[in-house]
Structure 1
C-alpha cells in the first residue's frame, strides 16, 4: 500500500458517513499543498477495496450514497446483531441521563438535591445508575437525616470516554447555533 493509500484509507475509516471523492481530494490537496488528481484517488480506492475484499478482514469498503465507507461484511451480521441487542439494553433513559448529568456536575449531591433540580422523584433513576455502576455512594451528608451523597464512578469515565471530570462540556460548549433558520427574537421583544 502506498503513502496516498494510507491517507485515503484513514479518511474513509474516520468519516461518519460515506465520504465522496471530492471530499477526499480536498483533504489530500490541503494536506499535501498540491492538487491530487481524481483518477489517482479512484485508482487508490480500488486498490484499498481489493485489499479488504479478502476473507482475512471482517469489513470492506462499500460505495454508497455517492461516497465510500467501511462496513462489516454480511457474514458477520448475526454476531453484530447480538452485540447491538446487548448494547441497547445498556442504553440510558432520558430521565437516567438527566439524573446522571446532575450528579456529574454537582457531585457530591443528595437525592433530594437532584429531585429539587429535576422537579420529579429520582429513586428509579438513581437505582438504575447504581446498578450500572455509573454512580457510587460517596458518603453521607451532614444535613438533617444524613442523606447519602452520590458521585460518578470510574466506569462513568469509561462509559463516556473521558479521563477526568474536567473533560465534561461546560455551558459555553452549548452556545446557540449561529446558523438557525427563521427570525430571531431579540431579548427586548421577548420581554414585551
Structure 2
C-alpha cells in the first residue's frame, strides 16, 4: 500500500503535492453536510486510491491540529466531520447575513430540553413536567427542524409515541453525543436551567464553511 500521508500521483498536474490530508480537506470544504470516516474513505478511494480508515482518521487528526485556534476549525459531530467558523467569531460572522437567526419561544425550548434530557418521553410526560399542555405546533416545529422524532411507542393503553432527539439535533448544537450535554447537576433540575443551557447554545450557532 502506498503511504498516503505523503505525496501521491494525481489525475492531472497540480502545483501542490497531493496528500491524503489535502484531499480530505478539499472534500470537507466542498461538502454540504458533515462527512463520516466511512463516507470520506469511499470518496477518497473512488479515484483509484487505496486508503484505509486509520489513514483517514490520521489525516483528520492532522487537519484538526492545523486548524486549532483559528477562525475556521474542524469539528467532529454526531454525523461526522465538518469545517465551521469558530464560536468565538460568531458575532462578526453574523454581520455577513441579513437574516437574523430564528427566535424560539421559551415553551419550545422547554419542550426540546425535556426531550433531550428525559428521552424517550411521551407528550403527556412532557406536559406533566412542564405543568401545562404542549401545543401541537411546538412538536411539529421540532420535527420539521429534524431535531426530534418518534423513536417508539410506550406499551400502555393508547400506545403514545415516544419522542427522542436526532443526529441533526446533535449536529446543530455542536455535539458528538448526548453525553456531551451539560449534566443535570451542572445546570440544576429546574426547567429554567435546561432552557438556559439550550438558549446559550442557540446564541452560539456555528457557521458552516462551504
TM-score (norm: length of structure 2)? 0.43
Structure having the higher Rg:
1
Q: Which has the higher helix share?
A: 1
TM-score, structure 1 as length reference? 0.47
